[in-house]
Amino acid sequence: MTENSCPECVSELKIPGDAIDGEIVTCADCGSAWELDISSDGTVSLKQAESVGEDWGE
């Protein structure tokens, strides 16, 4: 398991060792969701996960 800092609240964000590119992780402290962007060399970066709102069938 690797650790990064949450860009929102700067607390430790634990990333599972078997995480895959595009996986969503959630900060235990502030609840923000982040999408993992894992490069071919294994470097992990975070980008804000898009939230999908309810469209109510429109």
Q: 7 lies in a domain?
A: yes
Q: 28 lies in a domain?
A: yes
Q: 32 lies in a domain?
A: yes
- Local confidence pLDDT in tens for the 58 residues of the chain: 567 899 999 999 988 889 999 999 999 999 999 999 998 888 889 999 987 666 666 6
- pLDDT recorded at residue 17: 86
Q: Quick one: tokens of 58? A: 């429109």
44/21 Cα distance (integer angstroms): 9
Beta pairing partners, 36: 46
Beta pairing partners, 14: 3
Q: 33 lies in a domain?
A: yes
Task: Supply the range of the domain harboring residue 44.
Answer: 2-48
- The pTM of the full predicted model, rounded to 2 decimals, is 0.75
Domain count, the chain: 1
Residue 22's CATH number:
2.20.28.160
DSSP strand pairing (44-48 vs 12-15): unpaired
